[in-house]
Amino acid sequence: MKPLLKTLTETFAPSGYEDAIRKIVQKEVKPFADEIRVDAMGSLIVHKKPTTKSKNPRRIMLAAHMDEIGVIVSHVDKNGFVRFTNVGGVFGRYTLGARIRFLNGTTGVVGFDKLESVNDIPSMSKMYIDVGATSRKNCPVQIGDFGAFERSYMEMGNRLVAKSLDDRAGVVVLIEALKAIKSTPNDLYFVFTTQEEVGTRGAGTAAYGIDPEIGIAIDVTGTGDTPASLKMSMELGKGPCVKVRDPGMLSDPRVVEWMVNTAEKAKIPYQREVLLVGSTDARAIQITRAGVMAGALSIPCRYIHSASEMVDYEDLKNSAKLLTAMLSKPVSF
């Protein structure tokens, strides 16, 4: 998975501009798909039909989002300094001094206006991007141009660090599960969604079109294993997390039980997740049409929405194993 994850995380695809990442994913999944299509929102929908008979085949939607947080140019001053606003959850504490790459290839460094104290964290309105320009005329970006963090993938033992592991980690897990499933009694839709970071938009429209009976999001989740972190039980290296609750949704108890029972039977380590901040595509899937039984498989991740997010490689492997075990057998509820 590591070479693919490196390629995915180093590809730039902020919300609304997922074309580059979609092409990579489509090439990876094509040999394993019965049908592939791209919907009006740009989500990639990969259909794997049942290969074995079942009394009650279930239509199941799996969703991992392709987009990443980013910035958009809102103003260029007379000296060529670029003001910007966020696309998704860009946090000021992670943005100062960051390097930004725009879709046209321009790179820049985030600077900030004069601070009263060097320890202050200024608001985004006090930040700018220095792209090396000297005037508005020779500035290589213009109003409305999109950019994202610039940072290379690296490995620290079993810990993998990169930008956009939210949610390229989920994307690689979903791809690996699709490759690993040799036969299934279920009607499976592997959906690589768009615009999750700006309101789970792609998942909602994809779910409306698919009309699944069960929906599962594969995304990252925050951890409680760093100094003075929020008091949450999720930790790196302890296995995939079975979501019970986040601020956007309550998982269906039947889906939670299915995931837990499968993990225990397959002897796959897992954690129970109660997330205190954030949500996933499962929120949009759950309230589509007349409602969907929904849950989420979450990958523990530190420093979410920074340019140096961190996951554990064993958690990625075990996440793919759990999904494969779940989807290869009939659903009992």
Query: Which are the catalytic amino acids?
Result: 196
Q: What are phi and psi of 79, to 5 degrees?
A: -95, 5
Q: Cβ contacts of residue 118 below 8 Å, gap of 6+?
A: none
Burial state string for 66-82 with b = 16 or more CB within 10 A and e = fewer than 16? bbbbbbbbeebeeebbb
Q: How far apart are CA 214 and CA 285, in angstroms?
A: 9
Q: What are phi and psi of 187, to 5 degrees?
A: -95, 105
Burial state string for 32-60 with b = 16 or more CB within 10 A and e = fewer than 16? ebeeeeebebbbbbbebebeeeeeebbbb
> Which one-letter DSSP state was computed for residue 126?
G
The maximal CA–CA distance of the chain, rounded, in angstroms, is 69
Q: Tell me the one-letter amino acid at 133.
A: A
> Which one-letter DSSP state was computed for residue 277?
S
Q: How far apart are CA 167 and CA 94, in angstroms?
A: 18
Record the tokens describing residue 286, joined without a space. Answer: 């759950």
Q: How far apart are CA 99 and CA 101, in angstroms?
A: 7
